[in-house]
């Protein structure tokens, strides 16, 4: 299996895992919200605070990772464009990038954006799926 196939498979696998984990986490938390009543326990309040903090952190990390990766791609492509513009006969990367390069770039952006959200959603699904200890 070549690296492109592995990247695509990894992205598809992580997307599928996220598609399964996110509804499980939402269902668990909504049920918890519904059963906590007007005066939630300290444990419930911690979980509710954690929900918002995790979402904010995951999406900030996701946008940052995508932006950083895209910025790096722009630098590479700009450098290649200048090289090609100043010496088109030199055999530098042809401009504009071909479809394969665009596809690889977009897969890289998506993978970096999905990683933080996937990591937290899957971890929450595992954590929230465990039976709660009785005290």
Interacting residues of 120 by C-beta distance below 8 A, sequence separation 6+: 54, 57, 58
In a domain, 26, yes or no: no
In a domain, 49, yes or no: no
In a domain, 100, yes or no: yes
Tell me the pTM: 0.74
Query: In which band, very low, low, confident or very high, does the pLDDT at 82 lie, cut at 50, 70 and 90?
Result: confident
Q: Is the C-alpha dihedral spanning 63, 110, 24, 132 positive or negative? A: negative
Segment holding 2, helix H or strand E: none
In a domain, 99, yes or no: yes
Average pLDDT over residues 77-84: 82
In a domain, 17, yes or no: no
pLDDT at 124 over 70: yes
In a domain, 25, yes or no: no
pLDDT at 122 over 60: yes
The structural domain count of the chain equals 1
In a domain, 47, yes or no: no
Q: What is the pLDDT of residue 118?
A: 94
In a domain, 75, yes or no: yes
Domain range enclosing 114: 62-128
């Amino acid at each position: 299996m070549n690296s492109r196939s592995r990247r695509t498979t990894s992205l598809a696998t992580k997307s599928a895992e996220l598609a399964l984990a996110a509804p499980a986490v939402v269902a668990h938390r909504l049920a918890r919200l519904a059963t906590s009543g007007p005066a939630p326990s300290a444990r419930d309040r911690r979980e509710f605070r954690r929900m918002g903090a995790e979402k904010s952190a995951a999406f900030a990390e996701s946008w940052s990772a995508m932006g950083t990766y895209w910025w790096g791609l722009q630098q590479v492509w700009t450098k290649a464009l200048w090289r090609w513009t100043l010496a088109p006969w030199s055999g530098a990367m042809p401009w504009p990038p071909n479809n394969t390069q665009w596809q690889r770039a977009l897969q890289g952006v998506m993978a970096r954006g999905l990683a933080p959200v996937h990591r937290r959603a899957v971890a929450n699904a595992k954590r929230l799926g465990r039976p709660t200890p009785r005290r």
